[in-house]
Amino acid sequence: MSPSFAPLKNDTFLRACMRQATDYTPIWLMRQAGRYLPEYCATRSQAGSFMGLATNVNFATEVTLQPLARYPLDAAILFSDILTVPDAMGLGLSFAQGEGPRFANPVRDEAAVGQLHVPDMNKLRYVFDAVTSIRKALSGQVPLIGFSGSPWTLACYMVEGAGSDDYRLVKSMLYSRPDLMHRILQTNADSVAAYLNAQIDAGAQAVMIFDSWGGVLADGAFQQFSLAYTSQVLARLTRKGVDDQVVPRIVFTKGGGMWLQEMGQLDCEVLGLDWTMNLGKARALVGQHKALQGNLDPNILFASPDQIEAQVRRVLDSFGPPHQDLHATGPTHIFNLGHGISQYTPPDHVSCLVSAVHSYSRALRRVA
Ligand code: CP3
């Protein structure tokens, strides 16, 4: 039986995803639950490790709600990680304190690729249980976003076995054994589609695909090894959630600005942009089909509140006049950072950011 939840009180984010007019520009932040919040660090030390946090439904629910208790954000994002999927494939994920993720069993040769399978979704039950628990705890305050890594971004970690500066191992495989790379990507696409659909069935109201390392690919390779598989995933997603509402799909390719026109052809509702893109130009290129999400440089949050406000105005102005026709769809913007928030961000600066986005975007609608 599908779970049932309280009615949504703030639908600004979902409306903007669907290119409908809103009273102000909604905002949420990538990595909004994380180490810049002292309460996150406290819960994390109680849990003992990052995976201890992510695999415990109560802890995952608690930390998802932490940023919403501090700031009037317009969406919540499931607290988990993109690497839960390769972990469930048996790659052995660990996060050592102060280090990035690491896989005990990276996929580097034909034998390892041959052993790779779509994981049993029961191994990821803790993620779907967290989605349902968070939806209940939110009581309709704001919508909940589910997420996954893109097939390519997951493959980067699976082959490298950790983060990488040069992507040497994964690119070596891509160029020398493209057949193996395609087999990994196909398994990942099948896994990601099943994983996101299970999140939707558990109560996710929007889903986002993080193609964090799409931008490291050469032109041509991006289309073949990243975009094609993201596109396959999108085609297989359940269109309506447990509330019988459309579930908007967001695709974020970091460093993908030069392929925006091609990404405009994807069967999704929203494209996420990093800080290298101009939102007005992006709107001219794809604004007739897609809502846009982004794209403040996260490092601006280290500047003074005055400078943060000025940069917020710059980003909102760069998008151009807000769409205000309640009877038609039009170009819409969801405010976010161009990548995840840094762990060194002063929490007060986030208050300043959220209030500047809300107040200035309301003012833009009054004058228009
Ligand atoms: O956005 C949110 O608040 C939801 C939670 C979330 C996390 N990771 C929690 C997390 C999301 C959406 C992610 C996605 C993720 N994870 C991506 C894609 C987005 C991006 O940043 O490009 C990637 C590439 C990962 C892989 C990953 N997870 C890395 C490289 C690291 C280590 C780097 C770091 O910041 O420490 C993680 C760990 C991780 N995932 C943390 C959090 C809050 C920090 C770990 C900790 O608490 O010790």
- 40-96 pLDDT, tens digit per residue, is 999 999 999 999 999 999 999 999 999 999 999 999 999 999 999 999 999 999 987
Q: Which of 334, 242, 321 is nearest to 1 (CA)?
A: 242
33 lines ligand 1 (CB under 6 A): yes
Secondary structure (3-state) at 337: strand
pLDDT at 1 (0 to 100):
64
- For ligand 1, pick from 53, 82, 156 the residue to mutate: most ligand atoms within 8 Å of CB: 82
- 268-284 pLDDT, tens digit per residue, is 999 999 999 999 999 99
User: Ligand 1 center to residue 333 CA distance, Å?
Assistant: 24
Active site residues: 31, 35, 44, 81, 157
What confidence category does residue 3 fall into, taking pLDDT thresholds of 50, 70 and 90? confident
| Cβ atoms of 145 and 76 closer than 8 Å | yes
Asked whether the predicted pLDDT for residue 2 surpasses 90, the reply is no
On the 0-12 / 13-18 / 19+ scale of CB atoms within 10 A, 122 is exposed
Secondary structure (3-state) at 138: helix
Number of neighbouring beta carbons within 10 Å of residue 318: 16
Report which protein residue has its CA nearest ligand 1's atom 39: 81
- pTM of the entire structure? 0.97
Task: Give the position, in ligand 1's atom list, of the atom nearest the Cα of 340.
Answer: 21
Q: Which of 190, 56, 194 is nearest to 127 (CA)?
A: 56
Report which protein residue has its CA nearest ligand 1's atom 7: 81
What confidence category does residue 368 fall into, taking pLDDT thresholds of 50, 70 and 90? low
pLDDT at 98 (0 to 100):
75
Average pLDDT score over residue span 306-323: 98
Secondary structure (3-state) at 46: helix
Segment 309-316 long-range contacts (CB within 8 Å, at least 24 positions apart): 309/352, 309/356, 309/360, 312/353, 312/356, 312/357, 312/360, 313/356, 313/360, 315/279, 316/25, 316/357, 316/360, 316/361, 316/364
- For ligand 1, pick from 31, 59, 99 the residue to mutate: most ligand atoms within 8 Å of CB: 31
pLDDT at 101 (0 to 100):
95
CA distance 56 to 315: 37
What confidence category does residue 263 fall into, taking pLDDT thresholds of 50, 70 and 90? very high
Report which protein residue has its CA nearest ligand 1's atom 33: 100
| Cβ atoms of 124 and 83 closer than 8 Å | no
In the chain, the domains with their CATH numbers are 12-367 (3.20.20.210)
User: Ligand 1 center to residue 161 CA distance, Å?
Assistant: 16
263 lines ligand 1 (CB under 6 A): no
What average pLDDT is seen over the chain? Answer: 97
pLDDT at 367 (0 to 100):
72
